[in-house]
Amino acid sequence: MKNKIITISMMAAIVLIAPSCKKYLDVNSTPNNPLVVPPATQLPNTEVALAWTNSNELDRAADVIVQHNAGLANNPAAYDIYNVRGTMDNDWDFEVYNGAVSACVNLIKQTQETSPAYAGIAKIELAYAISVATDLWGDVPYSQAGQGLTFAQPRFDKQEDIYQGNATLGITSLFDLVKSGIADLAKTSALVPGTDDLVYKGDLAKWARAGNTLLLKFAMQISNINPTLSKQVISDVITGNNYINATTQDFEVPFGANVGNQNALYAYNNINRPNDQMLSTRFLTLMNNLADPRLGKFYTSPTGVFTSYDNGATITAPAAASRSKYNTYITGASGEAPIRLVTNYQRAFILAEAALVLGTAGDAQALYTEGITQSMLKTGITQAAVTAYLLANPTVAILTGSTEAKRQQIITQKYISFVGNGIEAYNDYRRTGYPVLALALNAQGDDPNTIPKRFAYTNNEIQRNPNTPTPQPLTNVKVWWGK
């Protein structure tokens, strides 16, 4: 009787299991490799991936090209003289596409129907990640990216379609992607983020502000080529009055002081490759000419003076102990500084330029002053010191001359504020030509006579994806929105 009971029980178990057996074998799932990861686990991964995309190798290349830093050794030395080919495979593969893009796409798919609060955040993040890729490389995978084997060799979408959309090809514009994300934030959601959200701790109102401020950034990015759309987007955001307008609302990803949790700027410059780059002589000259008090917030002065190196120079670099390198505002004392993606001071500079050149609402002078003030305050300079600096330096504080001369002032101050975010400074330089930069010494690359106007496609992508544009554009070919 005992054996019969066991047999009946086993048969019953088989009957219960049989319908799902084939499915189980097909997916080969294991408890240690779940097919569905909770949104609360995925969200912080998307945020950290975005921060690394912004602040790791892509930033190092951009920051020496725009001459915040000078490269002394290894990849930064190559980028300093415009050799940008064959060195960014990991960044394209693992930070942008198999990192931020893939993570965001997965989170959107999993949460769109039941927990759109997560999908909304992921759409805003995805738009940011794709903007980094297209701004640096031009035409890139977008509409088919991050979908695994469904599109193992994704199509390269044209940059103009990425920004403006193309209904025929099924390409959603970055503007519409962000707007869709903002709309999702307002929907009823079964799950909502809390402490798993490293950026805003589940404050969806702040995410909406970040999304609208991202729209401002995108609109200004394409203002040369489509000023009508730019003005309309910026005007709509201003009318909505729901954008970042306080430092406490900045879109920035926090890091910690423990090994493995430090931000990329600290990890590279203080631990992994401490001798690869330092303060550029050209940036030091600019800051000294402007008597700008942020210099000591951005860079160290170990011997009591700022010690720099010229971009592309071949002379022996200063002794390591005397070199000016990123200070704690950029890195934190032990790697705990946040990576700043979209900020209040950035918003002020965008609106200042828009008011000046597009005629959008707002006073360009007041917004320009706000941008400088908010940047200085962010670094830790007191309001009294900021006020004193602006009063003592009217040639900096007051926009003067032609519209183009005023724009140069705005972008130069924005460029200064972007130390630690070389990608944004590089975008503005290629869009406006400001600040005016001289060629690096001993320049090489595709065109030694031109500061690169784009990054070169990576070797891995060229070899594995037949959709990579052929022939690949040289680095002296401007991107669609470039000047």
Phi, psi at residue 339, to the nearest 5°? -95, 120
Task: Write down the pLDDT at residue 338.
Answer: 98
Render 92-132 in DSSP notation, one character per residue. Answer: IIIIIIIIIIHHHHHHHHHHTTT-HHHHHHHHHHHHHHHHH
Integer Cα distance of 211 and 209 in angstroms: 5
* SS3 category, 277: strand
DSSP annotation of 467 reads T
pLDDT (tens digit per residue) in 410-469: 999 999 999 999 999 999 999 999 999 999 999 999 999 999 999 999 999 999 999 999
Integer Cα distance of 369 and 397 in angstroms: 7
Phi, psi at residue 332, to the nearest 5°? 80, 160
pLDDT (tens digit per residue) in 222-233: 999 999 999 999
Q: Give the number of other Cβ atoms within 10 Å of residue 433's Cβ.
A: 16
pLDDT at 269 over 90: yes
Residue 57 tokens, joined: 């190798």
Task: Write down the pLDDT at residue 32.
Answer: 53
Contacts with 333 (C-beta within 8 Å, 6 or more apart), sequence order: 257
Phi, psi at residue 166, to the nearest 5°? -155, 100
pLDDT (average), residues 17-37 = 48
pLDDT (tens digit per residue) in 301-344: 999 999 999 999 999 999 999 999 999 999 999 999 999 999 99
* SS3 category, 423: helix
Percent of the chain with pLDDT over 90: 92
Q: Which helix (H) or strand (E) holds 346?
A: helix 344-357
pLDDT at 157 over 50: yes
CATH architecture of 41-258+338-464: Alpha Horseshoe (1.25)
User: In terms of residues, how long is the chain?
Assistant: 483
> CA gyration radius for the chain?
24
* pLDDT classification of 31: cutoffs 50, 70, 90: low
Domain ranges of the chain: 41-258+338-464
pLDDT (tens digit per residue) in 349-401: 999 999 999 999 999 999 999 999 999 999 999 999 999 999 999 999 999 99
Residues 199-238: b if buried by 16+ CB within 10 A, e if exposed? bbebebebbbbbbbbbbbbbbbbbbbbbeebbbebbbebb
**Predicted TM-score of the model (pTM):** 0.93
Nearest by Cα to 121 from 187, 54, 36, 216: 187
Integer Cα distance of 177 and 120 in angstroms: 9
Task: Write down the pLDDT at residue 4.
Answer: 34
